[in-house]
Amino acid sequence: MKSFYRWEFFLLLIFIVEIGIFGWLSPGFLNVNNLLFSMNDFMFISIAAIPMTLVIISGGIDVSIGSIMGLCSIILGVSWSHGVNVWLAVLIAISSGLAAGLLNGLIILYSRVQPLVVTLGSMFLFSGLALVISGGSKASGYEGISGFPDTFVQLGNGSFIGIPNPLWFLIGMTAVFCTLLHFTKYGRSVYLVGINSKAAFYSGLRIKWISLSTYILSGLGGGLGGILLTSYFSSARADLGSEAVLPVITAVVLGGTSIIGGKGSIAGTVIASIVIGFMQYGLQMIGLTSEQASIVIGAMLIISVMARQSSYQKVIQWFRQSKTDSSDPTYKGEMR
């Protein structure tokens, strides 16, 4: 019964209600193939949000994630257009994402400046660098670099046994990061650093390395998100992912991760990102514009986070208290 008290269960209920409402409003919404392949539209959010969960649990934040996506995308495109094998170009792009995350982590650790300020600055740094590389390669601002091999394009558009490739990618990342965060000493260390970094230090943990590693992983998430977007659009552009930062952080926070650190889960982040993605898809299917959809999603997120912080906890406490009282043989209830 413990799982029924978890925030993740509440998110699953929201997801089921959401699917039911949109299925009632638009019967075509419940087409399984449409649902599966519509996930390609927002998989890059889920993939970037998973490593971001570790950053926020450890007490940090990384708002440069969208710029890292654009930087990795254009590096991939420029490398490939200069004759590098496309899969080697993918590795170069991933390495660039890791390097960007490493740079963020090193500046935060050794400058002692707030992570929000540092990554806000690096957001402009990476975005500007991507534009310089794009301009130097004379890539079109709208179309970017296109004409990628079909094998690469299928990475973001193909499927295996009827399941879209990006969804397989998400399943794999979820399994790896769930194991890393919830079943290893490293994961427990990330939680402890977020709860109390001084206690973690006096416990002998290498808190600098743990914090640095979370930013490196966040850079990896940005790099993978940028590669997936490039494959999905079959185009490498410097501005890919430029609007991803808020959806990524929202998915993490809505998934139950405390913005001040020390609490959160990979499962919550993944479910929240899917809830947000299908909300956008459903609102578009019933005819709302993207601006109108943003209003609805913003309201939903505020209500959900408020419920997470207050009413939901009270409801859970009331439910637990009721079960305790009813199991107590001396409890006589309100009807006596």
Tens of pLDDT, residue by residue over 221-240, are 999 999 999 999 988 988 88
The pairing of strands 145-146 and 159-160 is: unpaired
Tens of pLDDT, residue by residue over 127-158, are 999 988 887 766 655 567 888 999 999 988 88
Looking at residue 141, its pLDDT comes to: 57
Q: Are 295 and 95 in contact (CB under 8 A)?
A: no
Going through 117-203 in order, the beta strands assigned E by DSSP cover 145-146, 159-160, 163-164
Query: Phi and psi of 235, rounded to 5°?
Result: -160, 135
- SS3 state at 255: coil
Q: How far apart are the first and last CA of the chain?
A: 28
**39, 279, 288, 301 from 20: Cα distances, Å:** 17, 12, 18, 19
Kindly state the percentage of the chain with pLDDT values over 70: 86
Highest mean pLDDT, choosing among 108-112, 130-134, 169-173: 169-173
Q: Please state, in angstroms and rounded to a whole number, the distance separating the CA atoms of residues 89 and 82.
A: 10
Tens of pLDDT, residue by residue over 260-278, are 888 889 999 999 999 988 8
Looking at residue 335, its pLDDT comes to: 39
pLDDT at 45 over 50: yes
Q: Which residue has the tokens 């637990």?
A: 320
pLDDT at 163 over 60: yes
Highest mean pLDDT, choosing among 48-57, 131-140, 191-200: 48-57
**75, 79, 96, 119, 227 from 92: Cα distances, Å:** 8, 8, 6, 22, 11
CB-neighbour burial class of residue 212 (10 A; exposed 0-12, middle 13-18, buried 19+)? buried
Q: Please tell me the pTM assigned to this model.
A: 0.85
| Proportion of the chain in helix, strand, coil states, percent, rounded to 5 | 75, 5, 20
Looking at residue 137, its pLDDT comes to: 66
Mean pLDDT (whole number) for 193-207: 87
Q: Are 222 and 48 in contact (CB under 8 A)?
A: yes
